[in-house]
Amino acid sequence: NVEASMLAVEWNGTDFGLVLGAGVGVKLGTGNVLVEARYNMGFSEVREDYKNKNTSFSLMVGYGFN
């Protein structure tokens, strides 16, 4: 049964990584426009038999009221 064998796979319980990011705020009207970008780079492998690591990229855009 494929489903049962997938449930039996051991996933690593801990992930170590590094997050790098930068952001900027620009005054607009009575508040600020905010833009941030972040990159998350995982150092640990997800499983021993599956040689991938967690990575992600995120972008945040917002408006802050004063």
Instruction: Note the pLDDT tens digit of each residue in 31-57.
Output: 999 999 999 999 988 887 778 899 999
Burial class (CB in 10 A: 0-12, 13-18, 19+), 22: exposed
Instruction: Note the pLDDT tens digit of each residue in 29-38.
Output: 999 999 999 9
As a whole number, mean pLDDT of residues 5-34 equals 86
pLDDT for the residue 3: 63
pTM of the model: 0.68
